């Protein structure tokens, strides 16, 4: 994720990767830009373009609770006052209420939270989230810098969120690997068993994540890809993989930082909370709907994009908030984007381990550029040669080696003969 400061506050530094798990990082770009709170709202193009403002005619998220597993949410900023109703710290270095930003990427959690449930600062002023009446839980993690193992922090955070009433869990972070530890099997199964929607960022090519990583690879998790203002796949601020569920804006996002002030930023760390907020709107509009059908409403009403659908670039397409809360959608009996329990039974051997090699496809080579023109389906590759490849090359390589040995022998003989002539 890239960012530019546009008003007040202290500088943010979000890193691309610093541990087994990391927030989906950004790098600073550009200069400080002047801005006013009443001009910030005009920058939130996704509110109108993706149907959120129209969805507010039905619901603004009241009654739904979103847990933000991140670097902590500063609930004292104007836009988030009253939004954070509970929290905790699982890193060992934060405050007990989870509202003290921690780690090297400390501003990240507040920025994410403002996109979900920012209240604004007055009539038409400041950042307003896509679910401005939803409640937030702040669970602070310090990935790579806390006293607790990063993987264990995540597992603990997920369980805490479930036990404290989360309807939705937002995870704008990545493990930078396809696989995940067995402790996550238990934690995410616990979330799914307790009817909680889990949303995760796909990651960013600009930060070195060329394909989705866990938790966005976990079956049943809503993996979110990023698009630019035109609705086309972002090159730097997105990733790809067959677990992508939907796509949402990930460029030129505006968020709040601890202590007040605003930043412009790029990345799926911002796309994911837009979808988490959408899940909160759906849950608010249909309080008796289970998590599987909340997810189904989001993907079934998405505007199809790319070929095939679902595909590794856009998933089922671009989110449509108004349709998600108003359209007639047939119910489902299971999570439409995967079953973690079935995956564990099939791929997780009793001795441990497990692999997603059979479930995911690697990114194309070279990587896609621009708006992903041409096929949206990455080509399959392998870092291990197939048997037929070895056979195909073995014979010509052997002949070449024999020829080189023959030439070397001839050269040595010629040198010896020449030296003999000199001695005569």
In this structure, what token pair is assigned to residue 152? 């264990």
Catalytic residue among 239, 269, 276, 284: 269
Contact 257, 14 (CB under 8 A): no
Active site residue 70: yes
pLDDT tens for 315-325 read: 999 999 999 99
Q: How far apart are CA 108 and CA 24, in angstroms?
A: 9
Burial of 303 per CB tally in 10 Å (0-12, 13-18, 19+): middle
* Main-chain phi, psi angles of 157, to 5 degrees: -65, -45
Catalytic residue among 108, 156, 284, 376: 108
Q: How far apart are CA 141 and CA 139, in angstroms?
A: 7
What is the structure's pLDDT at 150?
95
Contact 40, 8 (CB under 8 A): no
Q: Which of 291-305, 363-377, 403-417 has the highest mean pLDDT?
A: 291-305
Distance (Å) of CA 405 to CA 391, 395, 396, 398? 22, 16, 14, 11
Q: How far apart are CA 217 and CA 148, in angstroms?
A: 23
Q: What percent of the chain has pLDDT over 70?
A: 73
What is the structure's pLDDT at 64?
99
Domain 2-347 has CATH 3.40.50.200: yes
Cis-peptide, bond into residue 155, ω within 30° of zero: no
Least confident of 34-38, 105-109, 193-197, 228-232: 34-38
Least confident of 94-108, 317-331, 391-405: 391-405
What is the structure's pLDDT at 420?
52
Q: Is 90 exceeded by the pLDDT of residue 284?
A: yes
In this prediction, residue 38 has a pLDDT band, given cuts at 50, 70 and 90, of low
Active site residue 269: yes
Q: Is 70 exceeded by the pLDDT of residue 35?
A: no
In this prediction, residue 208 has a pLDDT band, given cuts at 50, 70 and 90, of confident
Q: Is 80 exceeded by the pLDDT of residue 88?
A: yes
pLDDT tens for 123-155 read: 788 999 999 999 999 999 998 876 799 999 999
Contact 361, 242 (CB under 8 A): yes
- Sign of CA pseudo-dihedral 314, 318, 324, 326: negative
What is the structure's pLDDT at 406?
60
Structural domain boundaries in the chain: 2-347, 385-424
Q: What percent of the chain has pLDDT over 90?
A: 68
The DSSP symbol for 8 reads: S
Active site residue 108: yes
- Sign of CA pseudo-dihedral 215, 288, 194, 132: positive
What is the structure's pLDDT at 145?
79
More confident residue, 36 or 97: 97
Q: Is 50 exceeded by the pLDDT of residue 299?
A: yes
As a whole number, the mean pLDDT across the chain is 82
What's the predicted TM-score (pTM) here?
Answer: 0.80
Q: How far apart are CA 273 and CA 66, in angstroms?
A: 9
Q: Is 80 exceeded by the pLDDT of residue 345?
A: yes
pLDDT tens for 156-207 read: 999 999 999 999 999 999 999 999 999 999 999 999 999 999 999 999 999 8
Catalytic residue among 7, 70, 172, 238: 70
More confident residue, 195 or 423: 195
Q: Is 70 exceeded by the pLDDT of residue 362?
A: no
Q: Provide DSSP, 340-369.
A: HHHHHHHH--TTS----TTT--PPPSSPP-
What is the structure's pLDDT at 402?
60
């Amino acid at each position: 994720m890239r960012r530019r400061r546009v008003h007040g506050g202290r500088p943010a530094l979000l890193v691309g990767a610093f541990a087994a798990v990391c927030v989906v990082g950004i790098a600073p770009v550009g200069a400080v830009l002047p801005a006013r709170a009443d001009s910030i709202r005009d920058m939130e193009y996704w509110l109108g373009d993706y149907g959120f403002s129209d969805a507010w005619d039905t619901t603004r998220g009241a009654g739904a609770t979103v847990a933000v597993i991140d670097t902590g949410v500063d609930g004292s900023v104007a836009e988030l006052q009253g939004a954070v109703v509970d929290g905790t710290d699982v890193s060992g270095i934060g405050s007990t209420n989870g509202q003290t930003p921690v780690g090297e990427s400390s501003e990240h959690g507040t920025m994410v939270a403002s996109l979900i449930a920012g209240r604004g600062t007055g009539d038409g002023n400041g950042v307003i989230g896509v679910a401005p009446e939803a409640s937030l839980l702040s669970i602070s993690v310090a990935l790579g810098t806390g006293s607790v193992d990063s993987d264990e922090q995540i597992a603990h955070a997920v369980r805490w969120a479930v036990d404290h009433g989360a309807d939705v869990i937002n995870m704008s972070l990545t493990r930078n690997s396809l696989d995940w530890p067995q402790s996550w099997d238990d934690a995410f199964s616990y979330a799914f068993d307790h009817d909680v929607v889990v949303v995760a960022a796909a990651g960013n090519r600009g930060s070195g994540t060329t394909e989705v990583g866990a938790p966005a690879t976990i079956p049943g998790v809503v993996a979110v890809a990023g698009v630019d203002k035109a609705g086309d796949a972002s090159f730097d601020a997105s990733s790809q993989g067959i677990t992508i569920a939907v796509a949402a804006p990930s460029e030129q996002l505006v968020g709040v930082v601890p202590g007040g002030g605003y930043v412009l930023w790029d990345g799926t760390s911002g796309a994911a909370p837009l979808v988490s907020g959408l899940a909160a709107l759906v849950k608010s509009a249909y309080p008796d709907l289970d998590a599987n059908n909340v997810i189904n409403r989001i993907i079934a009403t998405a505007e199809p994009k790319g070929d095939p659908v679902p595909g590794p670039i856009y998933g089922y397409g671009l989110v449509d908030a108004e349709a998600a809360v108003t359209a007639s959608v047939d119910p489902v009996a299971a999570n439409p984007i995967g079953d973690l329990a079935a995956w564990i039974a099939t791929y997780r051997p009793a001795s441990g381990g497990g692999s997603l090699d059979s479930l995911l496809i690697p990114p194309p080579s070279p990587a896609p550029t621009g708006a992903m023109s041409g096929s949206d389906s990455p080509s399959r590759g392998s870092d291990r040669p197939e048997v037929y490849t070895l056979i195909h090359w073995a014979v010509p390589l052997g002949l070449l080696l024999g020829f080189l040995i023959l030439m070397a022998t001839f050269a040595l003989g010629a040198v010896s003969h020449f030296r003999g002539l000199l001695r005569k």
